[in-house]
Structure 1
């Protein structure tokens, strides 16, 4: 099924004044695989897709944040916590914690992990990061109550919960927002639908480039390029409200010529975002 298209975004983008040293880096931690037929409507059973488990580090002078946490040290245990039908072959890489340590990153800079939502493949790496979890009330409730929150409940045990409120104005078509740093450089917008409080994270770089990290509004770029939703059965399994996901996908498509849209699990969507440097610069350099 294709989504009904909203008009392409033509209004000016919201004002943002990112600091000159704001930067983002991708931190791939592994992949898992599934047939395209299980990822997007119209996908081929012969097309094997690699699903990314990638975190994104936002470096900001007011303190850094990760968008999602990737795979963790106890990945095998986390996969065993899933229903058998939801398990998939995976290839693990180094955890975010390991990669930050290897790059000489100063962990005192890291304010926490801003989760797009609490499904296992976005939060597994919390088990080795052990930093505050940035989350809104609806998503925290979903993580506490829903069967798909089992891994989150395990890895977040004992962690500080930094609960933020989506009490800001509509943002780029989404109904509510939270400006993380107060400068428009990182704005969290309510998407909902996939989970109760799932979000999109918009990042404005000093270069003027804009990113929209849309979590699981679609798993692959087919959702943006062809408007392809998840197959019917997967919508029933994966989404709490398929109509809301459909609307969020329409909004993302409408933004796709003004904002670089990054579905969480499309490996190719992260191309162009730099990896961590081999030696991370110290604060103030």
Structure 2
């Protein structure tokens, strides 16, 4: 049974300067039959590898890192059956450079979890990586953390605590800036420390970056988990994923939910404008 919607939403006071941008770094190809129960083997999907920049006066954050400069090497590190055709775009670092971004503003990367397609881009980002203790342990020891261990070498790892109590049905959370604008909620299930990152904009719009609780929006609209054989391969606790998915479904009418790998889910979020494009628009 799907949980009842939560109303009202928690109070948030995002600053007027808060902005959110998407940094699409590429896609890889799979079939819907592998993405959600009932998906078709004939339905080809392009899975997003997208980083998200949240700009805040107290310091900016990236949510996930997308594909890195050495993504082909990272894919080669995977078991053969996990490799898929992929298309690369500019890395998050390249897009930030093209925008003339001031890296002194960037507090680091909050990873929704440490699987390769969320962390590959750390290879060209010299910034701290923010994770809770459960995910730090998983990334250090699990076979699925091989790419993470390679790309995070030399990075400062900043563990954070879920010290701010339940949030939108999730059992524990961390209010990053203390104003409700960026709240990290513990989801678990897919990995022990996987998280959902909620962002409240000054316009009143709310986003929920739900990582891999489902790979495609079909999981939300049709209330479908991954197929049973994929759950066994990818989820440490399928029941925990089910619970997190139910929590998200209850929020669909009040929060724009973004599964990490659904390309179209990012459409409402603007691209980060390059310096040249901004200059041209002002002339």
TM bin (shorter chain)? over 0.9
1:28 to 24, 29, 47: 24
Aligned pair 1:65/2:64, yes or no? no
Q: Distance in 1 between matches of 2:15 and 2:3?
A: 32
Residue 113 (1) aligns with residue 92 (2):
no
1:152-189 Cα offsets, whole Å, 9 max, x none, are 00000010011100121100000000000000000000
TM-score by length of 2: 0.96
Distance in 1 (CA, whole Å) between partners of 2:88 and 2:108 is 22
Task: Tell me what 2:266 maps to.
Answer: 270
Equivalent residue for 2:240, pick from 244, 247, 259: 244
Give 1:8 shift: 2.5
Does the aligned pair in 1 maintain the 2:36–2:224 contact within 8 Å?
Answer: yes
Instruction: Give the alignment's TM-score, normalised by structure 1.
Output: 0.96
Partner of 1:5: 2
CA distance in 2, matches of 1:208, 1:277: 23
> 2:250 aligns to what SS in structure 1?
helix
Q: Any runs of at least 4 consecutive aligned residues in structure 1 with deviations exceeding 4 A, and if so which?
A: none
User: What is the rounded CA distance, in whole Å, between the counterparts of 1:75 and 1:50 in structure 2?
Assistant: 16
Question: 1:143-154 residue pairs with structure 2 within 5 A?
Answer: 143-154=139-150
Looking at structure 2, the residues matched to 99 and 186 of structure 1 have their Cα atoms a distance apart, in angstroms, of 22
How far 1:278 sits from its partner (Å)? Answer: 2.0
User: Would you say the 8 A contact 2:95–2:274 is kept in 1?
Assistant: no
Pairing 1:207–2:193 present: no
Match of 1:75 in 2: 71
Aligned to 1:159: 155
Counterpart CA distance in 1 for 2:199 and 2:53 is 11
Partners of 1:269 and 1:155 in 2: CA distance: 27
Among candidates 172, 191, 197, match of residue 195 of structure 1: 191
Instruction: Supply the distance in 2 between the matched residues of 1:18 and 1:6 (Cα, whole angstroms).
Output: 27
**CA contact under 8 A between 2:216 and 2:261: conserved in structure 1?**
yes
For residues 203-260 of structure 1, what are the alpha-carbon distances to aligned partners after superposition, in whole Å with 9 as ceiling and x for unaligned? 0000011000000000000011111110000000000000000000000000010101
- The equivalent of 2:90 in structure 1 is 94
Which residue in 2 is equivalent to 1:230? Answer: 226
In the alignment, is residue 261 of structure 1 matched against residue 247 of structure 2? no
Structure 1: which 5+ runs fail to align? none
Q: Distance in 1 between matches of 2:248 and 2:197?
A: 12
RMSD, matched Cα: 1.0
Deviations 1:264-284 (A, max 9, x none): 000000001000012298xxx
Aligned equivalents of 2:169, 2:101: Cα separation in 1: 36
Return the match for 2:14 from 12, 15, 18. Answer: 18
Instruction: Find the residue that maps to 2:208 and give its secondary structure.
Output: strand
* C-alpha distance in structure 2 between counterparts of 1:176 and 1:240, whole Å: 19
The residue that corresponds to 1:168 in the other structure is 164
